[in-house]
Amino acid sequence: MAEGLLEVAGDLHNPPEELGKLVLTLFVVVAAAAAVICVLWWGKKKGRGLPPGPMGLPLLGSLPFLRPDLHCQFVELAAQYGPVMSLRLGTKLCVVVSSPAGAKEMLRDRDAVFAFRDVPVSAAVITNGAQEIGWNNDPESWRFLRKVTVRELLSSSSFDGFYALRKREVRRAVRELYERCGTVVTVGEALFQTLLDLMLSMLWGSTLEGEERTRVGREFREVVHKITENLGVPNVSDFIPALAPLDLQRVARRMKKLAIWCDSILDRIIDKRVNLGKGEGAGKTKDFLQVLLDVVDKKESELPLTIEHVKGVFLDIIVAATDTTTGTMEWAMAEMMEKPEVMRKVQEELDAVVGKDAAVEESHLPRLPYLDAVVKETLRLHPALPLMVPHSPSEPSELGGFHIPVGSRVLINAWAIHRDPSIWEDPSEFKPERFLTGDARWDYNGSSNGFRYIPFGSGRRSCVGILMAERMSMFLLATLLHSYDWKLPAGDQIDLTESIGIVLKMAKPLTAIPSPRLSNLDLYS
C-alpha cells in the first residue's frame, strides 16, 4: 500500500509547468486549422452578450496563459474587464465573479440556478461519479445526504454529543507537544494529525483500534494531501473534453489509484462494523458510521441510501475537515507569530477567561471574542478555497447583465472580495480588530454582511461543515495558545507565501518551538 502511495506521489510533477507544455504542444498542432474557427467563435461570443474577457488563442483560449496563482491573476483581469468577466479555457467558458454584488446575485438571487457543480474529472473519479454532497448534481440526492449529515453529525446538538471525543484528542495533542517542548515542531503536521484522529473517532469510533488505527490514520493523511493536490491541477481533460480519454496529465490515473485505496479501506471498516452485530454497541453512543448504516437499512427513508453514498460522505468529511481546517489554523499561527502583539492579546484573553490552572473547554469559546476575530481575519486573508468550489448553471441565466450559458464553469473569487480596497481598510494587513467594530454582522454565511465576507460560500451549496470548522479552529487554537508559548527556530523568519492549489496553504510549512506556560503541570500529563 505504501508503495502505491509513493507511486501516486511520484506522478505529480509541477502541474502548472506540465500543463503549459501540453497546451503549447497542442497549440502548434491545431493553431492553423483552428484560426477560422476562432474568428467565427469570437464574433458569435460578442453577439451573445457574454461577459467581457481576453480573446485567447484558437481552440485553446487562455489555457497557455494561466499562472499558478489563478486567484491573483483573476484580480488583474477583473481590473481590466470588470467584476463579472469570462475567458475561454479550451472549449469551456469560465466566468469569474469578483464582487459582493455579483456574489449576491449568484448565491442568493439566482441560487437555485447556480446550485449545480461543474465537476472536474478528478472529482468525478475520486467520488465514484459524485455520489456524495460536495460535487453531487442530483438535487434530491444531495439534499437528502446533506440533511442526514447535518442532523446526525454537524448540527449544534449532534456536534455537542461528540465533545468528549474532541476533548480527548485535543488533550492528547497537548500531552504529545509537552514531550516535544524545546524542539522544532512542524505546526501543520501536528494540527492535521489531531484533526484526523478526531474525525476518525467521530466517524467510526472504535471500529479500528491499536496499530491498525494508527496505520490507517497515517495512510489517510497521505491520501488526503494527494487528493487535494490533484483536485487543484488545471487539467486539459476538463477544458477539452475530446482529449479526456487520453488523460494526458494522468490526473484520472492518479485519482483512480487513490479511489481504489479509499474504497478498500472504507469497505473493510464498513464490513467490520456490520460483522460486529448490533448487540455489540448496545448502550454506547452511536458514531456516524452506525447512523448511516441504520439509514441504509431503513426501507422508509426518503431516498435509497447506498454504501457508495456512505463512502462518499465519509470522504467528503475527512478531506474537508482536515486539510482545509489545518490550513486555516496554520495561517492563523503564522500571522500571530508575525505579529506577536496579536498572540499576546489572545493569551491575555485566555488567561482572563480560563486562568492558568485549568484547561480550555468549549464552553469558554463564546467568551473569547478576540480569538474569534483572529480566526475570522485569518479566513478573510487566507480563505481555504480562494475560488470556492466551481458552480455551473442548470439553465441559461444571467449575471451582472451578461448571458451565462449552460455548461459554463462559474467561479467566485472570494480571495479578491476579501482583499478589495473599496470594502476593507488596509486590506492586506492582518487586523483582527476590524471584526470587533462597526455595525455589520460578520457571520460566515455572507447574507448578513452584503456578501463582503464569504469564506465558506453561501446559499444552498454553502459548506455543510461551517459549525465544525469554526468550533474546531477555535478550540484547538485556544488550547495551543493557552498551553504553550511559541517562538521561531533561531534564524527563521515567517514566510507568508502561498502554495497554489484548490486549497490555499503555506508554501513553506510553519515550524515553531513550544514551551509550557501553565502553572498546573498536571494539565500536561
- Binding site for heme, by residue number, is 463
H or E element in which residue 92 lies: strand 92-97
* CA separation for the pair 511, 392 (Å, rounded): 40
- Torsion angle defined by CA atoms of residues 501, 505, 506 and 510, in that order, rounded to the nearest 10 degrees: -150
Question: For residue 272, what are the contacts with CB-CB under 8 A and spacing of at least 6?
Answer: 207, 208
SS3 at position 143: helix
* CA separation for the pair 96, 93 (Å, rounded): 10
Sheet with 84-89: strands ordered across: 84-89, 92-97, 409-412, 391-392, 116-117
Comparing CA positions, the residue from 255, 162, 234 lying closest to residue 200 is: 162
* CA separation for the pair 434, 420 (Å, rounded): 14
Strands 92-97, 409-412: pairing is parallel
**Contact (Cβ atoms closer than 8 angstroms) between residue 381 and residue 416:** no
* CA separation for the pair 505, 326 (Å, rounded): 9
Comparing CA positions, the residue from 148, 102, 513 lying closest to residue 313 is: 148
* CA separation for the pair 220, 177 (Å, rounded): 22
Residues in the chain: 525
The grid coordinates of residue 65 equal 496563459
**Contact (Cβ atoms closer than 8 angstroms) between residue 200 and residue 220:** yes
The 10 Å CB-count burial string (b at 16+, else e) for 70-79 is: bbbbbbebbe
Question: For residue 10, what are the contacts with CB-CB under 8 A and spacing of at least 6?
Answer: none
Question: For residue 2, what are the contacts with CB-CB under 8 A and spacing of at least 6?
Answer: 219
* CA separation for the pair 78, 511 (Å, rounded): 36
Cβ burial, residue 403 (10 Å; 0-12/13-18/19+):
middle
The grid coordinates of residue 159 equal 456536534
On the CB side of 133, CA atoms within 13 Å amount to: 23
* CA separation for the pair 118, 392 (Å, rounded): 5
Residues forming a β-bridge with 516:
484
**Contact (Cβ atoms closer than 8 angstroms) between residue 292 and residue 315:** no
**Contact (Cβ atoms closer than 8 angstroms) between residue 373 and residue 436:** yes
* CA separation for the pair 380, 376 (Å, rounded): 6
The grid coordinates of residue 31 equal 493553431
